[in-house]
Structure 1
């Protein structure tokens, strides 16, 4: 049953150390950078790191929480470290929040939230890190384009870069649902997307087509869930805000019955959740349906029962019995469906 096991995620938190020793514990736990010797704050250093091996890649997340955004600490990749560990990888780092000031080879730049940038661990650099978090993907140099020198310190902002950054975030958040059997497929999809990001071209895009479609679909589904109550949730609005064409959007959901069916399906499930979850504020069924875009009551009743096998009223009555065990309250719909 090993194939059903979860990926082995390695975690380290400074909370396991005494408050006045937390920064020292963070420094001692790092094997790839040297840190400033002093942490200048009276607030305990609250930081967390985790990483997981996915084929040849290492996916990691670093989080440092502090109420004062102006504090910082230095992390330096020195020549001595490079000789000692011979870590020959490129790291693709997505800054989630907070910022990083990067200095290397005579250049300096600020990496703000949302920035995806490259670090070459075979070269000397220094980062000034403020409170926040980042996700990074470490890639062996031999899996990157032959000449990786121009990528060091560079922010990836065009073409596939936005999609690849979203993919890294999505991959991190889906780790709890992955099994060991999934990892080779995830590694292959990651490699295709990375290649299409660094070397955009017809062959790379063809190879990356499936993972690209999966990431785009997840982005659209998340957008729909966020905007379910908008009466103007239309194809044009989704295309504009996601940044894709109508043809692409239609292709994404062709196998599920179309984009409008996807919206209706997700609205139905949200209505069912509202009607059947105990403890929620009371609302008439017709008001809940109308708020979720179902104007025709008879049509709403028909598709609700077809989807869930019971009527909206039956879902609400089950909730009533859970809200008040042993007591069935007067029909709160007042005859409404």
Structure 2
């Protein structure tokens, strides 16, 4: 069994383990395009950090990636999976990718808008009609072109994980029409697009860190929140929220990312191995996510939540003004996304 190498990196009082970039490997940087020329047989450890719990599809997919890479590399490359936000929140982990203190991570696009403002286009309401349609667009040339903008921040992307759509919960009443939203104080992502979209429904939308959310719901500081079913169930929001309305208003786009510093330290052979493993991992996570979504919904029901469907056409119509507001900023990208949906 090959010995793992660990490197301590102090970030916000966390000790990050075993980033490839800090592990002092021999071998030189390559020439054209920054490609690496690491041809040593020295073992490498890749740190894969994410913010979800052990039973979440993210974690199962990360472990799947670990098994693939370690087997295909004959143990030369090992993977240290760090779940539960152990390495920071999604934005902090993205910053870790920039610095090379984290090698691989996944984050919702809203957490990445600070690196590339075009990521905020994915926070527009009802941008996709289904998970399958989202996959079609995100895997297309249009989707890839949008993600390429992150490369200027030192982040490479390799497909997107799936969380399913975001839906609304609250402690006051079932939401069946936009009228029911009026006056509800609801937490959303730290994105002006998300705040504005919910504002069009008459909600008092509050951008708040996820770490503060459960307490805010428990104390009544906010009436509700909106998240994918995985988050609603695994975070036990059913303990502090009575009503779950399947509005499915946002599709969270979650790119799988690799530090460019890390990537350029891999040999061409290692890059091909990691890229292939990530492609297989994305397919695996999406399939797993689809299988688990119904279980998450049943789990919410079994724990006392009242679940209701909505007429999405009413919500789509009510949130149209947000597209007008961001036309100058995202209009061209939205047109390309609409064209990719039709292909």
TM-score scaled by length of structure 1: 0.27
User: 1 or 2 for the larger relative contact order (CA 8 Å, sep ≥6)?
Assistant: 2
Q: What's the TM-score, normalizing by structure 2?
A: 0.26
